[in-house]
Amino acid sequence: MPEAQVPADVFEELRKKFDDLTDSQKRIAEAIVEDPDFVAFATLDQLGSKLGLNPSTIVRFAYRLGLDGYNDLQNRVRERVRAQLSRRDDGGGTQTMPTSLSGTVFGQSFEHDLDILRRTLARLNPDEMARVVDNLVRARRVFVVGGFASYGIAHYMTIALSRIRGDTFLLGPREDETAALMLQVTGEDVLLVFTFPPYASSTLRIVHQAKSQGATVIAITDSPISPVGQLVDIVLGVMSSGISTQNSHVPSLALANALLNALVAATPATSLERYRRVMHLMNAGDSFVLKGDEV
């Protein structure tokens, strides 16, 4: 098989081809994304038994991705797991919960947020994050969307981006306003998407429309093979599980802050000057009880 046909990143290949896979193959793909540690070291028979599939189906799946059988697939998953473990080790270890919160629901909630934040850090690829920042810097306009619980993060990201780069627009819940803004989207623009299970159908429709108009679409979502993850140009994977009735969005908000900080670092002169001018106008209008820092 020619080397050029072999995918460099099996997770990216899964994202691109997920819609074209059979139901059995989709189960294998989901297992790889959801539990790569198991797939990395399970025998072919063990994986087949866990998924209720014939081992030959898994082998054919590997060939479907352009790989040289199950061993090749497993080696590439192992590389991903090793990279994640390396990033975990560089994180300085785990922190213990203060005694005053230990054993309480408050402590459980904080522990859960810390855990999914650490697991998100292990997932993130700095090169992909740098690509996102580069696209945000070069875009003529940035449109931001998030449905339901994700709307709050999208709203925050829009405000912060507007202060440091301008030409940033929130696609809100009102369909008439969203439709009017979507008419403006071109190939020079970026759509930044926040979407998590069970995924807002309106967000998926907006992604389809933006792609049809040539925009670069970036998703912050839980999986590269989520409904939106399969469609977009760049995916940043973020954990979003919860311990009660709602999922935690602590990791997605932390990622938003990291992208904002990186954008300022990439364009310090223009972003800080714009921020200074924005804060000057807001201070002149008595927007704050405490005057904002004009830099």
pTM for the full predicted model: 0.76
For residue 222, what are the CA distances in angstroms to 162, 184, 191, 238, 241?
A: 25, 28, 17, 5, 9
Rounding to the nearest 10 degrees, give the CA dihedral for residues 221, 225, 226, 229.
60
| Residue 131 pLDDT > 80 | yes
Q: Letter for the amino acid at 53? A: L
Q: Compute the average pLDDT of residues 99-125.
A: 88
CB 206 within 8 A of CB 230: no
Say how far apart CA 104 and CA 133 lie, in whole Å: 39
Triad 128, 143, 267: Cα angle to 5°: 55
Which band of pLDDT confidence, cut at 50, 70 and 90, is reported for residue 15?
confident
Say how far apart CA 147 and CA 219 lie, in whole Å: 13
Average pLDDT, rounded, for the chain: 88
| Residue 122 pLDDT > 80 | yes
Say how far apart CA 161 and CA 158 lie, in whole Å: 5
> Exposed, middle or buried, 155 (CB in 10 Å: 0-12/13-18/19+)?
middle
* Domains, in order of start, for the chain: 7-88 (1.10.10.10), 126-284 (3.40.50.10490)
Say how far apart CA 77 and CA 83 lie, in whole Å: 10
**CA 166 distance to own-chain centroid:** 23
> Exposed, middle or buried, 43 (CB in 10 Å: 0-12/13-18/19+)?
exposed
Say how far apart CA 292 and CA 6 lie, in whole Å: 53
The residue assigned the tokens 């352009």 is 66
Q: Which residue has the higher pLDDT, 3 or 89?
A: 89
Say how far apart CA 24 and CA 13 lie, in whole Å: 17
For residue 4, what are the CA distances in angstroms to 1, 7, 14, 292?
A: 9, 8, 17, 53
Q: What percent of the chain has pLDDT over 90?
A: 55
**Least confident segment among 14-18, 122-126, 183-187:** 14-18
pLDDT for res 36: 86
| Residue 2 pLDDT > 50 | no
| Residue 144 pLDDT > 60 | yes
| Residue 93 pLDDT > 70 | no
Q: What is the DSSP string of 242-270?
A: -SSSS---HHHHHHHHHHHHHHHHHSHHH
CB 111 within 8 A of CB 98: no
